[in-house]
Structure 1
Amino acid sequence: MSQRVFITAGAGGIGKVIAETYVAQGAQVFVCDQDHTAIDNLTEEINGTCVDVTDEAALDAWLQDGIARFGGCDVLINNAGIAGQADPVEALDLAQWRTCLAVNLDAQMITCRAIAPVMKRQKSGVIINLSSTSGLFGAPFRAPYAAAKWAVIGFTKTIATELGPYGIRCNAICPGAVSGDRMDRVLAAEAQARGVAPQDVYQEYASGSSLRRFAEPSEIAQLCLYLSSDAAKFISGQAIAVDGNTETYHSV
């Protein structure tokens, strides 16, 4: 039986690459995304619905639709995320803070809350929550994002202990800087906050990796595929970085 894979923010960027990677392996893929155009442009192999993940009722409805349509869920990938406000702590806006946490953290709770009973009945399942290296290290001028991504790891480790006895594995993936439009926007926002050029910020990010480059979306997708395979059937409760070794920093 092919895997039934649910992916939030799966119609563009990293999420779309993840979706296409699973489709190539014969999986049944069900995605949501807030971008109407991206949903309309999905290939027929990917089932998609337009959903704002901060809308609890809409997100729940999407999940219940998928569960009914496919008869269950084997893999849940919480990919939805936003960069959040990029400013010093004294300039943070509470409304923007709450929005950042709503997308990056609250949505993961909502999806896991709905999927856990299904996977418990199946006595199997894989949950993959997207965190970030900002959930492993401090991130200057990125307090809302870093706070949310640290929380994702704590949430993931906690539900791994709760759901493990039912044969459900839960892991967090912590990408470093990933090439694409979203990262371009992050660089531009941070550059503006610091009063420097975006290229200067890019060089700092890249030099912070031992491999001196950004990750590719396909590298995140391949780790998802591995973690949801039988090859990873004893891996749970982990926060796994895909960051070219960001523990080694280099001056620009």
Structure 2
Amino acid sequence: MKRALVTAGASGIGRAMGEGFAQAGYEVWVTDIDSAALSSCPEDWHRLQADVTDEMAVQEVVSQMAKIDVLCANAGIAGPTARVEHIALEDWRACMSVNVEGAFLAAKHAAPRMKAQGSGAIILTSSTAGLYGYPNRAPYSAAKWAVIGLMKTLAMELGPHGIRANAICPGAVEGPRMEGVLEREAIAKGMTRDQVYAGYAQGTSMQKFVQAHDIANMAVFLASDAAQLVSGQVIAVDGHTENPDPKL
């Protein structure tokens, strides 16, 4: 049985990824910093509490797996919503640490295992913020651009060993995290939550938000044999973002 490891896999996009891989017949391993969320995951999943910015914790998770067929480095935080001059350095560093260092550490420790088996798929969760600059989201946007740079390098380094690397760029995904973003952005712009929500939706060709399972479906595809020559790619699952901030 193939094994998939999903970081931040106890809720949101990560939880949907775990469910998608389970439905595809994988043995699912998830890590999360939230023990309560982990306890709500299916009992047949391997559930491990870990902070993705703690290298020893990440290394311990990987060491428990006999094989890693798929790594979904999905952990991330939204970071602050504010103009750049109002962003505290500690908030900038926290956002970069979880989003970039978390992906780096997961890939660093999974790569040797995948090299030894001569195969593997690494899927990094970036964002449409990694494709466009987003006003009021400097740390998050910078971090998600960095994730794409990391992915491109992994694809080049690991391709000769039969390992593929790709990045998924979700658009605005329905869920608690996006609700927090909407509320903070509404305050920053002097708008209502519903006005900001409408702005995000209207900024896409499909005129709607993305669902977590849409991201999971892409992850399962990228891990499959059907995508055996898809590597080094940045794939947006966003309903086609035309303008990241149409009301600015």
- TM-score bucket (shorter structure): over 0.9
1:219 match: 214
Aligned to 1:193: 188
Q: Which residue of 1 aligns with 2:36?
A: 37
- Render the CA deviation track for 1:168-211: whole Å, top value 9, x for unaligned: 00000000001111111111111122222111111110000000
Shift of 1:248: 5.3
Deviation at 1:249, TM superposition (A): 6.9
Distance 2:81 2:103 in 1: 22
CA RMSD of aligned residues (A): 1.3
Q: State the distance in 2 between where 1:85 and 1:46 align.
A: 32
Cα pair 2:84 2:138 within 8 Å, conserved: yes
Amino acid in the other structure paired with 2:95: C
Q: Once the 2 structures are TM-superposed, how far is the Cα of residue 247 of structure 1 from its aligned partner?
A: 2.5
Which 5+ residue runs of structure 1 have no aligned equivalent?
A: none
The answer to whether 1:75 aligns with 2:74 is: no
Counterpart of 2:46?
47
> Which of 129, 137, 140 is 2:135 aligned to?
140
Match of 1:182 among 177, 196, 217: 177
Q: Say if 1:251 and 1:120 are closer, same or farther in 2 by CA, change over 3 A.
A: closer
Report how far residue 26 of structure 1 moved.
1.5
What displacement does 1:59 show? 2.0
Amino acid at match of 2:106: T
The alignment's TM-score, normalised by the length of structure 2, stands at 0.97
Deviation at 1:43, TM superposition (A): 1.1
Instruction: State the alpha-carbon separation in 2 of the partners of residues 141 and 10 from structure 1.
Output: 27
Report the CA distance shift for 1:249/1:192 in structure 2 as closer, same or farther (over 3 A).
Answer: closer
CA–CA distance in structure 2, aligned partners of residues 18 and 120 of structure 1? 23
Q: Residues 133, 249 of structure 1: CA spacing in aligned structure 2 closer, same or farther, 3 A cutoff?
A: closer
Aligned-partner Cα distance in 2 for 1:80–1:20: 16
Contact kept, 8 Å, 1:23 with 1:45, in 2: the verdict is no
* 1:161 and 2:161 correspond: no
Structure 1 stretches of 4+ with a deviation exceeding 4 A read: 248-252
Maintained 8 Å contact 2:164/2:232 = yes
How many angstroms apart in 2 are the aligned matches of 1:8 and 1:227? Answer: 17
Deviations 1:195-234 (A, max 9, x none): 2211111111000000000011111000001000010000
Unaligned 5+ segments in structure 2 are: none
CA distance in structure 1 between the aligned counterparts of 2:246 and 2:130, rounded to whole angstroms: 22
**8 Å contact 2:123–2:165 — kept in the other structure?**
yes
Aligned to 2:219, the other structure's residue is in SS state helix
Change (3 A) 1:228 1:88: same
State the TM-score, normalized to the length of structure 1.
0.95
Instruction: Output the amino acid matched with 2:167.
Output: A
- How many residues get paired? 247
Question: Are positions 1:118 and 2:117 aligned together?
Answer: no
1:238 is aligned to 233
1:113-135 superposed Cα distances (whole Å, 9 cap, x missing partner) = 10111111111000000000000
SS of the aligned residue for 1:177 comes to coil
Q: Could you say which residue in structure 2 is the equivalent of 1:11?
A: 10
